Amino acid sequence: MTELLVQAEQRGRVGLITLNRPKQLNALNDTLMDQLGAALLAFDADAQIGAIVITGGAKAFAAGADIEAMADWTYTDVYSSHFISRNWETIRQVRKPVLAAVAGFAMGGGCELALSCDIIVAAESARFALPEIKLALLPGAGGTQRLPRAIGKAKAMDMALSARMLDAQEADRYGLVSRVVPDEQLLEKTLALATQIAGYSTPALMAIKESVNRSFESSLTEGILFERRELHARFASEDAHEGMHAFLDKRKPVFQHR
Ligand code: HXC
């Protein structure tokens, strides 16, 4: 029987995914990434879910790709199996907001997984690093692309070339994370934020996520055109009319996620 390396549970309108390979500090192997991808897609397809949280353990969010698994792989192995592309990028298909709740080590592929999320909430204990250079590898799960977009070239080069580790406060200052919270409140605060977000109109959230992500893929003019079309499309939704009328009526909106 396949080992369960990811736990998925529903908390109201939030899908909570917990990486569960604690002895290996949640080192990300193929099975774990398959299970993570499946859990993400299941929550994304579930109309009762409005936002998703990925978390790890107290000591590690994830200490990176599984070095033991990779150590003897050849070029043909990774090329043929489509390593990384095959199951690490499933998260890019997810249209609902994904939050990472990070305590402890988020290293290498673990840091890259967090960077693939839309919002990172860091506990005070969180530590972020791209130490692949120490293995003569490189941050090959999007790290060389997402990190400079997140924190700029100067800090990204420093982290990727020297394996510099950032603590939570540095990560906050540089814009790598969205918020820093005390460790004992990490899950509670992240779930509260996810619950708040999940209470908004799901299609509106998707439109915002898609528009923000488009800003990394397009010129300003093209991006603004995309955003404008998304805005116009909101006027075809029941939720936008409900939201505006509820404001005028001084009542709470009731969104149907339509
Ligand atoms: C496999 C790992 C692992 C990893 C930790 N472990 N990280 N196993 N892959 N990435 C295992 C250890 O071997 C050890 O197993 C157990 O988890 C506990 O780890 P320790 O090292 O004993 O803990 P500690 O001394 O507290 O140090 C924590 C740590 C260190 C600083 C996070 O474990 C570490 O440096 N890990 C590697 C981090 C790293 O290089 N990540 C990048 C990987 S490459 P045993 O059996 O001894 O108890 C990568 C590339 C992604 O992510 C992009 C695609 C290529």
Q: What is the pLDDT of residues 96-148, one digit of tens each?
A: 999 999 999 999 999 999 999 999 999 999 999 999 999 999 999 999 999 99
Closest CA to 103 of 163, 56, 41, 138: 56
- Whether the pTM exceeds 0.95: the reply is yes
What b/e string do you get for 82-112 counting C-beta neighbours within 10 Å, with b at 16 or more?
ebbeebbebbeebebbbbbbbbbbbbbbbbb
Percent of the chain with pLDDT over 90: 99
User: How far away, in angstroms, is 29 Cα from ligand 1 center?
Assistant: 12
User: How far away, in angstroms, is 30 Cα from ligand 1 center?
Assistant: 16
Percent of the chain with pLDDT over 70: 100
With cut-offs at 50, 70 and 90, classify the pLDDT of residue 1.
Answer: confident
CA-proximal residue: ligand 1, atom 40 (nearest): 131
The residue to mutate among 67, 87, 162, having the most atoms of ligand 1 within 8 angstroms of its beta carbon, is 67
Determine the atom of ligand 1 nearest the C-alpha atom of 25.
17
Question: Chain-wide mean pLDDT for the chain?
Answer: 98
pLDDT at 195: 98
Q: What is the pLDDT of residues 157-184, one digit of tens each?
A: 999 999 999 999 999 999 999 999 999 9
Residues 6+ apart with CB under 8 A from 1: none
The residue to mutate among 20, 23, 24, 25, having the most atoms of ligand 1 within 8 angstroms of its beta carbon, is 25
Residues 6+ apart with CB under 8 A from 21: 5, 27, 29, 32
Position 104, amino acid: G
Q: What is the pLDDT of residues 38-73, one digit of tens each?
A: 999 999 999 999 999 999 999 999 999 999 999 999
For ligand 1, is residue 25 a contact (CB within 6 Å)?
yes
pLDDT at 52: 99
Residues pairing with 98 in the sheet:
52
